[in-house]
Amino acid sequence: MPHLPDLPNWLLSSLIYLSAAVVAVPLARFLGLGAILGYLAAGMAIGPWGLGLVTEVSEILHFAEFGVVLMLFLVGLELEPRRLWALRRPIFGWGSVQVLGCAGAMAGLGWLAGAPLTLAVVAALGLALSSTAIALQVMQERNLLRTPGGQAGFAILLFQDVAAIPILALLPLLAASSTPNVPVPLADKAFEALKIMGVIGAVVLGGRTVLRPLLRAIAKSGTPEIFTAAALLLVVGVAALMQVVGLSMALGAFLAGVLLADSEYRHELETDIEPFKGLLLGLFFMAVGMGIDFGVLMQSPWLMLGVVLGFLAVKGVVIWWLMRAMGVAVAERPVLVLLLAQGGEFAFVVFQAAAGAGAIEGEAASLLVGAVALSMLLGPLLLTALTRWVLPRLATRHTTTLEELAEPQSAPTIVVGFGRYGQIVARLLSAQGHRTTVLEHDADMVETARAFGYQVFYGDATRLDLLRTAGAATARVLVVAVDDVDQSLAVVNLARAHFAHLHVVARARDVTHWNALRERGVTDMDRELFESSLSSGQRVLRALGHTPDEAQQLAQRFKDHNTQLLEDMYPHHKDRSKLIAVAKQGRQQLEEQMAQERAALAGSAEGPESNHASAPPNKQI
């Protein structure tokens, strides 16, 4: 082992890990291999089988697993409780099919290959689990989490985290299968169950009644670093509670994130925890790289290769069938199958616990741990190959190919996007006899629109040449109706830079998109759900007893106030605290004004002249 300087252990370790990451990760990205593979390579380089700079791998792995905990907390922040409830069927339905299907197939093949039944079952249960850290990281990078395939993959991963708990509970039973069973008193089982339910109930109740007021009080203190400390304390505390009762720390953190998903501090929590999550996840992948036992690999290279390729193939076949049954698009299946086929971080825990309980021998556990680590190492390499050579062919095979707009157009209005929003605008203009040029970048949508008799041109409006061909130089109005926020802003940027005369009418997805459009000089914007929500509100008011005129005027008053409030908030949209203050003040003013008007209306109705009033009772509104 090389001679190292006489430095404090924490300082020396920090120097080693950060140096390895800073060198390996940018190099891996430069080679097109991805950050995860860079972290794994860095771990192998500094680990026991590399330069030998780090030898206590298990301690680092336990610490770095907190990166997975933070990641699941952030994922939970993206899922509101009602959205999670909507996923209950795929989580427990398809998730259980994946775990049981993969475990059953691998256990059966292992037993037929001559492995003892207990070893085959333990190996199958551990290998059936996938890497939540790698899969979610890749799905976030590729924007897959909001797709049907991404939702399916996320549901399966979440079930795996839940399934790790009964798997660990099953190991002592498997270890004792060849010896006389020692019955566990029923009272002890009941106490453990009550303890688990109590902790989960405490997390749910605390998230609703304690955490939000506490975060509000800390935010009012005006010390950002204390809010960051409170965010970390929240995750650490929930993880510790779950660990005490034998549950998954990551599952507890996910539950805490879900409970805060609809709170006003969601974005601030994400911003504060994201850097820690990134660094600890990187350290986790480095620990995985350091933990690869090349000694076992060199002793039984063909056995190791057979185990890795065998379980990847079996899981790949089962998961491909599952994705097909779930109706996932063919173009999305290869990435999801690869992400779910590789081994996962919970497998390390399963195999170590199995060896400790005597369910499997130490050498078998080392072999299985090495197989999982190698699969996690092969995953990014296979994903890179998949992205370069397989996915482009699938995209070409399953996508309608159309010729882009080539002939110059001269209509006074250009509508970009022919989805559910752009269709209404284009049809209204067409019904009034106004000529429009409609651009749509989705070839399937263009084909569908043409089948119904609409004239829609295929093309990407973020390209200057195509926008010019569409007639932007002579047109009067540009309607930006695309759903994607980034694409919408790109079209507006292009129009502002090269066709400043165009009057832009834009679809705003939300207030953040509205502010971004305002920054680009757009003044005619409509939030896509605002008008329909107002219409629904009017219907509710009528159902509660208001006259149609009252409901309409109340909705119009709210609309005018909300429009003015947006204008008041716009100068402060980059200052979160000021923005919240203006929004609260505006809401309070509206409520007070409406309350005064209701009181005045009630007073006039009770007066002696109320029966002979010449004005309708809703005149004050």
pLDDT reported for residue 415: 93
Does the pLDDT of residue 400 top 60, yes or no? no
605 class by beta-carbon count within 10 Å (0-12 exposed, 13-18 middle, 19+ buried): exposed
The pLDDT value given to residue 612: 39
How far apart, in whole angstroms, are the C-alpha atoms of residue 184 and residue 352?
Answer: 23
Residues of the chain with CATH 1.20.1530.20: 56-177+202-355
On whether the CB atoms of residues 328 and 152 are closer than 8 A, the answer is yes
CB 508 within 8 A of CB 517: yes
pLDDT tens digit sequence for 526-582: 887 788 888 888 888 888 888 888 888 888 888 887 778 777 777 766 666 766 776
Q: What pLDDT is attached to residue 279?
A: 79
Q: What confidence tens digit (pLDDT) does each residue in 88-108 have?
A: 888 888 999 999 999 999 999
Average pLDDT score over residue span 121-137: 88
| pLDDT of 220 over the 90 cut | no
Instruction: Name which residue leads in pLDDT, 379 or 616.
Output: 379
If you average pLDDT over residues 320-339, what whole number do you get? 85
- Whether the pLDDT of residue 613 is over 70: the answer is no
What's the CATH number for 413-603? Answer: 3.40.50.720
CA-to-CA dists, residue 353 to 70, 168, 513, angstroms = 23, 7, 49
CA-based nearest residue to 140, from 91, 72, 236: 72
Note the pLDDT tens digit of each residue in 421-453.
Answer: 888 888 888 888 889 999 988 877 888 788 777
Let me know if 109 is exposed, middle or buried by CB neighbors in 10 A (0-12, 13-18, 19+). middle
Kindly report the CATH number that applies to the domain delimited by 56-177+202-355: 1.20.1530.20
**Start and end residues for every CATH 3.40.50.720 domain found in the chain:** 413-603
Q: Is the pLDDT of residue 180 over 60?
A: no
**What pLDDT shows up at residue 394?**
63
3-state secondary structure of 416: strand
Q: Name every residue whose Cβ is closer than 8 Å to that of residue 199 and which is 6 or more positions away in sequence.
A: 241, 242, 244, 245, 247
Kindly list the distances between the CA atom of residue 292 and the CA atoms of 67, 133, 367, in Å, as whole numbers in the listed order. Answer: 19, 18, 10
Q: How far apart are CA 592 and CA 613, in angstroms?
A: 26
User: Is 285 within 8 Å of 39 (Cβ atoms)?
Assistant: yes
- pLDDT for res 621: 30
Return mean pLDDT, the chain: 78
Tell me, what amino acid is at 341?
A
